[in-house]
Structure 1
Amino acid sequence: MKTSHKIVLSIAVLLIVGGIGGYFYARQLFRAPQNQLLITGLPATLPFVWHAEDTGSGPVAHAGLLVPVQVPGCSRPCYLQFDTGAPYSVLYANPLAALQQQYPTMRLAFSAGGDTLKNFRCSLGNGQVLARTVKVLPLGAKQLPEASSNEHFIIGTLGTDFMDGRVLIINYPQQQITLATAVPDSLKQRMVAVPLTFESRRVLLTPQVEGKAQQLLFDSGSSAFALLTSRTIWDKLAQPKALVQTTTVNSWGKSLTAHTAPTAAQLGFGDQQVALGTVTNIEGTSFVQNLMMRVSGMGGMLGNAPFEHHTVVMDVKGGHFGILQTN
């Protein structure tokens, strides 16, 4: 065999082995850890407020959802960002330290390294939550806001472990979230549903996009954008010759470039159509992030924007994602 042929064969083998290794590596990254939350007192309904953020091109009023949380021993209102793109809940070290200094009766049980809390309790509306262990990240505000401030004091992220095996209802116009054990009959009779899978606690739904079933990850934490997708899909959905808005976004300290264009595309839920409005492609994502997108089968990440005039029902137990117009 010629040397050049051996080199070509070697490269091919490396690509195959590397592809297989990359596949299983990405699947491992996509897998969620064991659920540590115990929740009682359902059904529970609680309000949410919109979290505003500056994306670099100006403020975005509806960048995220914040839900109020009550921590034993603390009289101050606190908030968690509800993020369906996060497969497990986390708390932030800086605001917890500030709270514990102000309210010593909180008695938070940190691990020796300070990166984990044991048996953390809180209430979300009528729901009582016990986190047997919860990760603590070195994030968040280091000082409590003034009592007269309108600032929402965020102490962590509420992930999809919150809704595991349950039903989550988001009423966007009324700004309410309900966690229940079953879909209420009043909604079940009215909603139009598509399949929902909850692999590794990611909310994957399959609406029709331009007449084709497309698997999308519903990520309430990326609501500054309606749909984040690949360049190939972006090229198909973006309106030709439309003005493209280019912004710089920060992802865990790394600057990425977002290209957002108007689109006439709609999400199809049975006979109900929901306008997307815009579509976004981001440059600068890592090889691993792109590989995870391909391995998971996702066509993109869907934010809150398309549903802001609707109620959505995520029936994790029954495997349905429902939508209905809110009067």
Structure 2
Amino acid sequence: MKLFKKIALGFLVILILTAIAGYIYFDQKFTPEKNYLTVKNESGNIPITWLGNDKNVLLLPIHFSGNSETYYLQFDTGSAYTVFYSQSIEDIREISIDNEQAETSFFVGKTEISSDQFKIYKTNKDDKSDSIKIIGTLGADVLEDRKTLINFREDLVVLNVSSIPADFRNKLIDFKFKKRKIIIPGILKGEQRKFLYDSGTSAFEFLTYKEEWEKLKLKNSKVKIEKSKSWNNVLTTYTASCDQNIEFDHIKIPVKELTYVEGFSNAQFSLMKFSGMSGMLGNKIFLDKSIFIDCSDHKIAIN
């Protein structure tokens, strides 16, 4: 009997140590570096430019002082950092590149964003004749400790908002800005869930795991299968009809479609599962709404 107790105790110790090691690994792996941005001024209304008929990509125009050209950054709250694409910035004289980092200052509306540590993402040669010059990604670091308004109804964004808009003051709920990820609590099928909001996931309403997808989709729904590319990953998406709702305190948002994806890296799925999230919400589910995100007080409102 004592031998069995010792064996059981040994297994318990191993399980505890494994759990602790796993927590430390994921905590370190997904913890972003210190925010390197300097952000000044409220932006005013910044017009959204959409790519594709299905509004696949949300772009914001930017300008460099002394340069009349309009460039664009994808607004991606799923990215922890604001980054530039290597091939797209090599001819922009306002950007200095040193040791795989960029130093520059640019304007998004009236907001000035500057740093000497912008990350550079290596890209292949692109078509220099493109009418829309996309040179990087505006990440969630621009939200950190600041207030932001995304108005999908009027296709505009306001960065570095100075005060809470009147329309949102009585609708604020708590959310987590964990490791620069926007995690919103909500209710799905009567259960309390957590959802990651990712503005870089424009073309989809609700991305979830295959097991959850099987449970939530309509039984006789046709499945739309598409292939797309995200960074260096080739993804296959499976989208089906759904008739569920997600409740965010005062508001109920219908989920008409849900999608699961093959091709995501293990790290991306591990992050969602490690954080206990049910899935990822894209822009499509909010296209008739506005979202106010206060990362200084960790409050969010959907109107």
In the superposition, the TM-score normalised over structure 2's length comes to 0.89
In 1, the alpha carbon distance for the partners of 2:254 and 2:229 equals: 27
> Do residues 126 (structure 1) and 110 (structure 2) align?
yes
Question: Which residue of structure 2 lines up, in the alignment, with residue 187 of structure 1?
Answer: 168
CA contact (8 A) 2:148 2:292 kept: yes
Do the aligned partners of 1:193 and 1:269 also contact (CA within 8 Å) in 2?
A: no
Q: Which moved more, 1:28-37 or 1:180-189?
A: 180-189
Q: Report if the CA contact (8 A) 2:239-2:260 is conserved.
A: yes
- Native 8 Å contact 1:74 1:99 kept in 2: no
> What do the CA deviations read for 1:80-115 (whole angstroms, capped 9, x no partner)?
000000111001111111334xxxxx3x3211x3x1
Q: d(CA) in 2 for partners of 1:12 and 1:286? A: 31
Asked if the contact 2:43–2:108 (Cα under 8 Å) also holds between the matched residues in 1, the reply is no
Q: Report the counterpart of residue 163 of structure 1 in structure 2.
A: 143
Aligned to 1:305: 284
Indicate if the aligned counterparts of 1:227 and 1:280 stay in contact, CA closer than 8 A.
yes
Partners of 1:322 and 1:65 lie apart in 2 by 20
- Equivalents in 2 of 1:232, 1:143: separation in Å? 40
2: CA distance, partners of 1:41 / 1:253: 35
CA distance 1:224–1:11, change in 2 (3 Å): farther
Partner of 1:137: 121
In the TM superposition, residue 14 of structure 1 has moved relative to its aligned partner by 7.0
Q: Tell me, yes or no, if structure 1 residue 153 matches structure 2 residue 133.
A: yes
Q: Which residue of 1 aligns with 2:3?
A: none
Match of 1:275 in 2: 254
Conservation of the 8 A alpha-carbon contact between 2:43 and 2:110: yes
Q: For the structure 1 residues 133 and 30, does the alpha-carbon distance in structure 2 shift closer, same or farther, using more than 3 Å as the test?
A: same
1:83 maps to which residue? 76
Could you tell me which of 303, 317, 320 is aligned with 2:299? 320
Change (3 A) 1:226 1:165: same
Q: Distance in 2 between matches of 1:250 and 1:14?
A: 40
In structure 1, list runs of 5 or more residues that go unmatched.
1-7, 53-59, 101-105
Q: Report % sequence identity.
A: 28
Q: Distance in 2 between matches of 1:216 and 1:40?
A: 30
* Counterpart residue type for residue 108 of structure 2: L
The CA deviation string for residues 252-307 of structure 1, in whole angstroms up to 9 with x for no partner, is 33333221111111121224211121111123434333322221121111100111
Distance (Å, rounded) in 1 between the aligned partners of 2:65 and 2:123: 22
Deviation at 1:43, TM superposition (A): 5.0
The offset of 1:144, in angstroms, is 3.2
Please tell me whether the aligned partners of residues 83 and 119 of structure 2 are also in contact (alpha carbons under 8 angstroms): yes
CA distance in 1, matches of 2:85, 2:289: 31
User: Which of 186, 190, 193 in structure 2 is aligned with 1:211?
Assistant: 190
| d(CA) in 1 for partners of 2:12, 2:101 | 44
SS at match of 2:200: helix
| Aligned residues of 2:233 and 2:264 also touching (Cα < 8 A) | no
- 1:224 and 2:224 aligned: no
Work out the number of aligned pairs and report it: 298
Question: Could you tell me whether the CA contact under 8 Å between 2:64 and 2:105 is conserved in 1?
Answer: yes
3-state SS in 2 of match to 1:257: strand
In 1, distance between residues paired with 2:138 and 2:268? 22
Q: Does 1:94 align with 2:94?
A: no
Aligned partners of 1:261 and 1:255: how far apart in 2? 20
1:174 to 151, 154, 170: 154
TM-score when scaled to structure 1?
Answer: 0.83
SS in structure 1 of the partner of residue 214 of structure 2: helix
Moved more, 172-181 or 281-290: 281-290
Give the superposition deviation at 1:198: 0.6
Evaluate the alpha carbon distance shift between residue 183 and residue 247 of structure 1 in structure 2; reply closer, same or farther with a 3 A threshold.
same
Partner of 2:102: 117
Query: SS in structure 2 opposite 1:22?
Result: helix
CA RMSD of aligned residues (A): 2.5
- Decide whether aligned partners of structure 1 residues 12 and 259 sit closer, same or farther in structure 2, where only a CA change above 3 A counts: farther
More off after superposition, 298-307 vs 225-234: 225-234
Note the residue ranges of structure 2 that are not aligned, 5 or more in a row. 1-7
Contact 1:169 1:313 in 2 (8 A): yes
Q: In structure 2, what is the equivalent of residue 47 of structure 1?
A: 47
Corresponding residue of 1:64: 57
SS in 2 for 1:203: strand
Partner of 2:177: 198
Pairwise CA distance, 1:13: 7.7
In the superposition, relative to structure 1, how do residues 242 and 186 fare at CA in structure 2: closer, same or farther (>3 Å)? Answer: closer
Dislocated runs of 4+, deviation >6 Å? 8-16
Say if 1:269 and 1:11 are closer, same or farther in 2 by CA, change over 3 A.
Answer: closer
2:119 is matched by which residue type in structure 1?
A: K
